[in-house]
């Protein structure tokens, strides 16, 4: 039997090697179900007071067993995200979207946060470029209404949900479902990272609201300009979180 070649070439890209051999961190089915529900709350798909589908329906949709769903819901109740009511009109209800922002956070560092934010920024910039060519008039109206609503008095959680709806509306207009899924997951995770890293209330004070400029470029069907403005928006927000951490 020939020996395995373990030679490490001098010109081997170290980042690629590290990525290939990084430890595997695959969540359990219970953790994954809990993560998806938490993500739905953070992104505003599920809002305070909303009733979740029955456990059997959730299990069928996600493709897991009822006991797995039940364990995930129990975990989310313990974290304060859900509450359960008994009776004919009972079920599991969203108790606190704000707790969804706070729960599930894990220690991170500025470099990791910046790397994650750059990936999300790149994905959203690309989605914006695609969406500029495909977005409908109705979707542009929705974006305009969201921009107006974001600037009205709201709680931190409410502004965060409106902001997520704005970004996900653009992602959906790209017509790429895989891109929407990736952006949705990364937006929810980055929000949690920002809370854990900066320990500040999000979203940050806008200071430079880029949303109207993004909508303007998309209305003009200028994909490159819209993409650039989305990227600059991400850079501004990322710098704001890192500055808040240093303050």
Q: From residue 205, how far is each of 68, 210, 236, 237, 240 by CA, in Å?
A: 39, 12, 11, 10, 9
Beta bridge partners of residue 83, listed in sequence order: 93
Q: Is residue 131 pLDDT above 90, yes or no?
A: yes
pLDDT of residue 104: 56
Global pTM reads 0.77
pLDDT of residue 113: 86
Q: Which residue has the higher pLDDT, 27 or 106?
A: 27
Q: CB count, 10 Å around CB of 52?
A: 20
28 by Cβ neighbours in 10 Å (0-12 / 13-18 / 19+) ranks as exposed
Instruction: Compute the distance between CA of residue 140 and CA of residue 159 in angstroms, rounded to an integer.
Output: 19
Q: Are 214 and 173 in contact (CB under 8 A)?
A: no
Q: Is residue 22 pLDDT above 90, yes or no?
A: no
Those residues whose C-beta lies under 8 Å from the C-beta of residue 69, and which sit 6 or more positions away, are 33, 55, 58, 59, 62
pLDDT of residue 222: 97
Q: Is residue 42 pLDDT above 60, yes or no?
A: yes
Domains and CATH numbers, the chain: 29-102 (1.10.10.10), 110-246 (1.20.120.530)
Q: Is residue 41 pLDDT above 90, yes or no?
A: no
**Which of 13-27, 104-118, 188-202 has the lowest average pLDDT?**
13-27
Under DSSP, is residue 7 helix (H, G, I), strand (E, B) or coil? Answer: coil
Percent of the chain scoring above 90 in pLDDT: 42
- The mean pLDDT of 25-47, rounded to a whole number, is 84
């Amino acid at each position: 039997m020939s020996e395995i070649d373990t030679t490490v070439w001098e010109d081997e890209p170290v980042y690629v090697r590290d990525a290939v051999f990084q430890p595997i961190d695959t969540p359990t089915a219970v953790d994954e179900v809990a993560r998806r529900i938490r993500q739905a709350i953070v992104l505003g798909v599920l809002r305070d007071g909303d009733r979740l589908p029955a456990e059997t329906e959730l299990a069928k949709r996600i493709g897991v067993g009822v006991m797995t769903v039940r364990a995930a819901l129990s975990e989310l109740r313990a974290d304060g995200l859900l509450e359960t009511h008994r009776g004919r009109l009972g079920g599991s209800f969203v108790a606190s979207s704000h707790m969804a922002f706070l729960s599930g956070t894990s220690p991170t560092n500025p470099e990791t946060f910046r790397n994650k934010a750059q990936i999300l920024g790149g994905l959203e910039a690309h989605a914006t470029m695609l969406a500029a060519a495909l977005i409908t008039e109705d979707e542009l109206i929705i974006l305009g209404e969201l921009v107006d609503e974001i600037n009205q008095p709201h709680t931190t959680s409410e502004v965060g949900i409106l902001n997520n709806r704005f970004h996900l509306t653009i992602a959906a207009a790209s017509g790429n479902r895989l891109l929407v899924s990736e952006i949705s997951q990364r937006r929810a995770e980055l929000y949690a990272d920002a809370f854990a890293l900066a320990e500040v209330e999000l979203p940050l004070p806008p200071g430079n609201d880029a949303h109207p400029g993004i909508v303007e470029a998309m209305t003009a069907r200028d994909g490159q300009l819209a993409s650039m403005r989305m990227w600059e928006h991400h850079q501004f927000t990322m710098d704001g979180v890192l500055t808040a951490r240093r303050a």
